[in-house]
Amino acid sequence: MIDCHAHLWDLDGGYPWITPESPHHRSFTAGDLAAAGDGLGLTGTILVEASRGDRGETWRLRDLRLRHPGLIAGHVGNLNVHAGVEPSRFRDLMDEARPNGMRLGGPSWAATPASARALVPVLAELGVALELNLHAAAVGVAAEVAARHPELTVVVDHLGNPPNLLTADPAEWREHVRRAARTPNVIMKISGLLTQQHGVPPERVAALVAHVVEAFGPGRCVVGSDWPICLPRGSRAESLRLATLGLAGLTAAEREPVLRTTAERVYRLAPPVDNAPEPLLRCDS
């Protein structure tokens, strides 16, 4: 299995959202990541940016990938922080940082920086996936963006953030999923469930996952733990177990794309190649 959503951070590097009273107020290292995955049968992890707030985080993720190739299979940088960069310069930055994806996040698509959204065509040109982590209408937005850029792979984080089933009806989300599934370059990431669906019976969470897999098919779904964000609710193992519970109705052959081969295709996973004598550390701000 490839865990397509995990984070690492060093508090000395920033991360203003991690306040002293937060349960996440500690650094998480590659060693912690390895220990959290012990015995889970993982063949790699995709590191995702954690809102450090500057461009240097993308190079930090690249450095971690180069230093731990047996543990970290790829990395997803933060597109928001590149707002204002000219497309030609951004293209050069992507060639240097070599991310497998770039994530755009915010309350809504309109709330993200317009000059960051303007860089999406460069991602399409380079074959770098766009990840969306939007609080509102993420699934529908993903389909719209993917339709405008048919050569772009758009990954929707955390099932598009459906409402907690204890407090709201997911009917609208279900319809958005059905509609988005008609756009072939949209990929759904089964992640974040341990946190977002806290208190919901596991079988009801599994029904959300099953709905997505039925609509999109196993070849357009991936899984992620959202470790260590998940830790206040459970371990990395518990998070992945909940994410995969909705796959119970699939055959072993059908599970394989969800658990591994779709991630390999979407993130263009391959052994990292770097001509520098040592991993490159940059602190562009």
Block means of pLDDT (10 residues each) for the chain, length 285 residues?
97 87 94 97 97 91 96 97 96 95 96 97 97 92 97 97 94 95 98 96 96 96 98 97 95 96 94 45 41
Q: How far is CA 99 from the centre of its chain?
A: 12
Name the one residue in this structure whose structure tokens are 């012990």.
38
d(CA 155, CA 11): 28
pTM of the prediction? 0.92
DSSP state of 261: I
d(CA 123, CA 130): 7
DSSP state of 247: T
User: For position 109, what pLDDT does the model report?
Assistant: 95
User: For position 33, what pLDDT does the model report?
Assistant: 98
d(CA 160, CA 178): 12
Please report, rounded to a whole number, the percentage of residues in the chain having pLDDT higher than 90.
Answer: 89
User: For position 283, what pLDDT does the model report?
Assistant: 39
C-alpha pair distances (Å), 74 with each of 62, 97, 118, 217, 281 = 8, 11, 24, 23, 16
CA atoms within 13 A on the CB side of 264: 11
User: For position 273, what pLDDT does the model report?
Assistant: 47
Nearest in space to 204 (alpha carbons), one of 236, 225, 174: 174
User: For position 161, what pLDDT does the model report?
Assistant: 93
Q: How many residues does the chain have?
A: 285
User: For position 280, what pLDDT does the model report?
Assistant: 42
d(CA 31, CA 266): 26
User: For position 135, what pLDDT does the model report?
Assistant: 87
User: For position 281, what pLDDT does the model report?
Assistant: 42
User: For position 271, what pLDDT does the model report?
Assistant: 56
8 A C-beta contact, residue 196 and residue 158: yes
d(CA 107, CA 66): 33
d(CA 127, CA 197): 33
User: In a 3-state reduction of DSSP, which class is residue 115?
Assistant: helix
DSSP state of 162: P
Nearest in space to 259 (alpha carbons), one of 235, 240, 239, 236: 240
Angle among Cα 39, 228, 73 to the nearest 5 degrees reads: 60
Phi, psi of 194, rounded to the nearest 5 degrees: -60, -35
